[in-house]
Amino acid sequence: MCEPTAYHTPVLLAETLDALVPEPGGLYIDGTLGGGGHSAGILARLNGRGMLYGVDRDLDAIAAASKRLSGTQAFEAIHGNFQYIKSLMDERGVGSVNGILLDLGVSSHQLDTPERGFSYHADAPLDMRMDRTRGKSAADLISQMPENELARIFYEYGEERWATRIAKIIVEKRSLSPILNTLQLVACVDAAIPRAVRNKDGGHSSRRVFQALRIAVNDELAPLERALEDAVGLLKPGGRLCVITFHSLEDRIVKRTFARLRRPCICPPSFPICVCGKTPSLTERFHSPIFPGKQEIADNPRSASAKLRIGEKI
């Protein structure tokens, strides 16, 4: 029931299920439903009892997972953003749950569907919206953002050291004609980075720029800390929050937020006792993240950068 599908192969599946500990009768949230791979595993352990809410902002994911999991009454697919997890549960009268999963980043389906515009390998409209019913596309950002803002995004979200030069080339090119397609953007990156540098790069020269644009288009980082806090607030005592990240920017936020929820005291170090009244709400199950094994990486190379962090509600 939880095998890989053409839509998306769930990463760190066994490790996530063991950490989440789904049990019959419990309430769980898969905040990043995708193709339903993790959700299928959770439902198998629920064994027809309890409830799983699957949230995703991508209607393709909602359709794929709903079809895959249609045989159970213990599942509800919700079109929404996990950043609003508290209000989504409030709307359903759910005050607390036993476990929450967040599998951050982009799905294989989004990467492998050219018309979505996430991939730099195929010519397609520059979209990159996870929710195509709202918001600005990557083409909108490329056409509207000032040069310095583009450079900031490429540097901060993509950790691209040629960010300034790439932004300059984009602005020059768009002044002549709109940049509407993925390969037009790839051409800008190639024009900005010397061939010798590109040849030495460990991957495609455009990957960092595409990552940065995707993060900006979908506002993936700014609301993450609050979303994690809201998720912990929804957990019952002993409930667990499992978060899978795929790049250092996400993981840094998760690590920092977990650490703050473990040690929330804001009193100056010179104070002999705590007077701020802030008490821990979370403990981490492991001090270090869990990584995919060699076999999983061999079977699914996209899992190589994944990290799983687990927090338990006090």
Residue 265: the pLDDT is 85
Can you tell me the mean pLDDT for 115-124?
94
CB contact at 8 A, 309 and 13: no
254 has a pLDDT exceeding 50: yes
Q: Are 244 and 228 in contact (CB under 8 A)?
A: no
Residue 4, pLDDT above cutoff 50 = no
pLDDT exceeds 80 at position 131: yes
Does pTM top 0.85 for this prediction? yes
Q: What is the pLDDT of residue 284?
A: 87
By C-alpha distance, which of 207, 188, 193, 285 is closest to 246?
Answer: 207
Taking residues 145-150, what's their average pLDDT? 98
| SS3 at position 121 | coil
Flag whether pLDDT at 269 surpasses 50: yes
Candidates 135, 31, 136, 37; CA nearest to 80 is 31
Tens digit of each residue's pLDDT (9 = 90 or more) over 77-95: 999 999 999 999 999 999 9
pLDDT band, residue 1 (cuts 50/70/90)? very low
pLDDT at 175 over 90: yes
Predicted confidence (pLDDT) per residue in 31-79, tens digit: 999 999 999 999 999 998 999 999 999 999 999 999 999 988 999 999 9
Question: Looking at residue 245, what is its pLDDT?
Answer: 97
The per-residue pLDDT for range 13-27, each reduced to its tens digit, is: 999 999 998 888 999
Q: Please tell me the least confidently modeled range out of 178-187, 192-201, 243-252, 305-314.
A: 192-201
Is pLDDT above 90 for 239? Answer: yes
pLDDT at 222 over 90: yes
| Beta strand 97-103 pairing with 235-245 | parallel
Contact yes or no for 28/100 (Cβ under 8 A):
yes
Query: Is the pLDDT at 272 greater than 90, yes or no?
Result: no
Say which residue, 227 or 276, is predicted with more confidence.
227
Question: Do the beta carbons of residue 306 and residue 250 sit within 8 Å?
Answer: no
Nearest to 215 by CA among 115, 128, 314, 110: 128
C-alpha span between 246 and 219 (Å, rounded): 16
Residue bearing the bigger pLDDT, 200 or 167:
167
Reading the block at residue 25, the tokens are 């009768």
Domains contained in the chain, CATH given: 13-105+221-313 (3.40.50.150), 114-218 (1.10.150.170)
Determine contact, residues 29/52, Cβ cutoff 8 Å.
yes
Mean pLDDT, rounded, for 152-178: 97
